[in-house]
Chain A
Amino acid sequence: METLIKVERLVKYFPVKKLFWTVGNVHAVDGVSFEIFKGETFGLVGESGCGKTTLGRLILRLIEPTSGSVYFDGKDVFKLKGKELMRFRRQAQIVFQDPFSSLDPRMMIFDIIYEPVKVHKINIEDPEAYVVSLLERVGLKREHLYRYPHEFSGGQRQRIVIARALALNPIFMVLDEPTSALDVSVQAQILNMLKDLQKDLGLTYLFISHDLSVVRYMSHRMAIMYLGKIVEIADSEEIFEKPLHPYTQMLFSAIPVPDPELAKRKLEERLIPKGEVPSPINPPPGCRFHPRCPYATDRCRSEEPPLAEVAAGYRVACWLYAKG
């Protein structure tokens, strides 16, 4: 499989300021490495504050990193300039979580979707026909062209956001919780549409979500983040079959399943992490999960486990599985 994106030891700290002095750093993303293959959906899961959104924005260079690099099609994204940067901006797009704040209420749908084309000064003979073709792609119609965002429901707005992202024929899209603001009956429509678009246009997705069931439905491979670090990364079917990291196991057992019998069985063997996620300003030493982990040993408290390969394409950061 061909690699499209390669992330290497990516770090992003946000300074915490008190008056004039920096009193600490939020370790939002702390030394993350992985790759995304062409044509796949890569799922990124974690609880709020684990750094998954920051990671998505770093990959698109919407924010600059503290250190580390991201290679897009072999080129370092943070060193791109001029024409090459503009090309990257066309090829990589993002869909945000909240379709109510990501559309300008004063612009008509046509202008919203056509704006990226204008910004990149691309010549299109018939702009209206082009926008209509994009609208049809996402299940909307010509009659929607000259309306304002407030006339649309949440699901329709998200379709408009997706149409705008498609306007420049991207090859890669970051989908940052694209359905968490939507109701379940509409969520399924959007998820299926995203899957179809990927098949038709050969897109590569980075799918960020806190909802594991959605990630399972969408992604080929996935990574689980905890406090700025990746703790487990593998083929998603394999992870869902048998998660290895204690944090992943707990995350899975915490999810209520819509099946009363299975729910009962799950309750009996359920492991729920004690306490809450510690502050990312002063993450615990050693393995960041150790204060909540039932298997924690002395080594976990002092030494950080590396993200090591335990089987082909399966990496876990936990001393339970480390060799030697």
Chain B
Amino acid sequence: MSEEILRIEGLRVYFYTYAGVVKAIEGVDLSIRRGECFGLVGETGCGKSVTMRAVVRLIPPPGRIVSGKIYFEGVNVLELPESEIRKIRGRKIGFIVQEPMSALDPLYRVGYQAGEPLLVHKLIRDKKEMWRRVISLFKTVSIPEPAKRVRNYPHELSGGMKQRVVIATALSCNPDLIIADEPTTNVDVTIQAQILDLLRDLRNKYGTTLILVTHNLGIVAEMCDRVAVMYAGQIVELAKVHDIFKEPLHPYTKGLLEAVPVITKSREVRLKPIPGTIPNLINPPSGCRFHPRCAHAKAICMKERPPLTEVKPDHFAACWLYTKR
């Protein structure tokens, strides 16, 4: 077993809205190993992005981290003062956000924005050096004509190019961990393939740890070593990529895999949708949060939350089907 870079213990994040307390994350435990590509999948609102934002302590209000511990390289980031966490953000943890349109400031040149972390973390002597570094960064992320592009403003670039700028920004300080939150959601499939290729190359070159947050199971199969499936603020299954696709254990994971149309499947094979809808997290279902939609729900599922247990070597599931009380 390789060294651990990030460990999340008992994380709970609540959003205090006027309508009530949204229990967005309810007890998440995770351990990420150095050098791996870890996938975090789930549908909208399952808490995958919030979990990752908690790692860099960027939960937007009215959200609050209620309890839990997050160890990054052995240090609990939730106990650090703001000045210390700032030294980690961008420097040790690079964050690739979902929408490049809103991640970039329209009033600054993209080259400056990509180089800003270098200035903030005082990794360079002057601005001249920054521009030089940014040009080589743009080359790394395969932006054509980097010397020209660094002087562009965000509106002058296409969506795919903007996403590359955001990736370059995340890479600028050579972080130990990169968190990519839906890096390809708003781009076309051919551009998506280019960006995924780029992330894969960068990982091969620098051995950076990558956490990939996505709702696309195909991307997970293609990119990741291990994967965690989230549902309604909890992790329901955690395993090696191969195992989760070949032998999914949790009914939700199984349902998800059968509900997705696949390009290699004939139109005659009917999709099996998961009945019902995602629960409201102000009043989440009791016990296992998936029980109202589950075909195997028993009496205990309504009463008690199943713990995440190791069913097979390195394959965890939170389901009463596999856990004895």
Contacts and interface: CB of A to CB of B under 8 A. Distances in A.
B277 interface: yes
B284 interface: no
Nearest to B243: A260
B67 interface: no
Given A185-B259, A276-B158, A260 B242 contact: yes
Nearest to B184: A256
B172 to A, nearest CB: 24
B266 A237 contact: yes
A50 to B, nearest CB: 9
A204 interface: no
Interface stretch (B55-63, B115-123, B185-193): B185-193
Interface stretch (B102-110, B147-155, B218-226, B310-318): B218-226
Given A185-B273, A256-B219, A217 B264 contact: no
Contacts of A218: 267
A258 B273 contact: no
A212 to B, nearest CB: 5
A250 B265 CA distance: 18
A153 interface: yes
Interface in A47-97: 47-48
A158 interface: no
A219 B266 CA distance: 10
A261 B270 CA distance: 23
Interface in B109-156: 144
B321 interface: no
Contacts of B272: 188
B66 to A, nearest CB: 26
Indicate the member of A156, A185, A250, A257 with the most B CB atoms within 10 Å.
Answer: A185
Given A47-B188, A276-B191, A192 B271 contact: yes
Using C-beta atoms within 8 Å of the partner chain, give the interface range for chain A: 35 or more
A160 to B, nearest CB: 14
Given A185-B274, A263-B218, A276-B160, A216 B267 contact: yes
Interface in A132-169: 153, 155-156
Interface residues of B, number: 47
B190 A217 contact: no
Given A155-B277, A184-B215, A273-B190, A191 B261 contact: yes
B174 interface: no
Contacts of A192: 270-271, 273
A270 B160 CA distance: 19
B277 A210 contact: no
Given A210-B188, A252-B263, A276-B191, 14 more contacts: A155-B277, A183-B215, A188-B273, A191-B261, A192-B273, A214-B261, A217-B265, A250-B190, A257-B262, A258-B218, A260-B222, A263-B221, A272-B190, A276-B160
24 contacts: A183-B43, A183-B278, A184-B260, A185-B43, A185-B278, A191-B261, A210-B188, A210-B189, A214-B261, A217-B261, A240-B264, A251-B190, A254-B189, A254-B190, A254-B192, A256-B218, A256-B219, A257-B221, A258-B220, A260-B222, A260-B242, A260-B245, A272-B194, A276-B158
Interface of A: 47-48, 153, 155-156, 183-189, 191-192, 210-214, 216-220, 236-237, 240, 250-263, 266-267, 270, 272-273, 275-277
Interface of B: 43-44, 144, 158, 160-161, 188-194, 196-197, 215-223, 241-242, 245, 255-257, 259-267, 270-275, 277-278
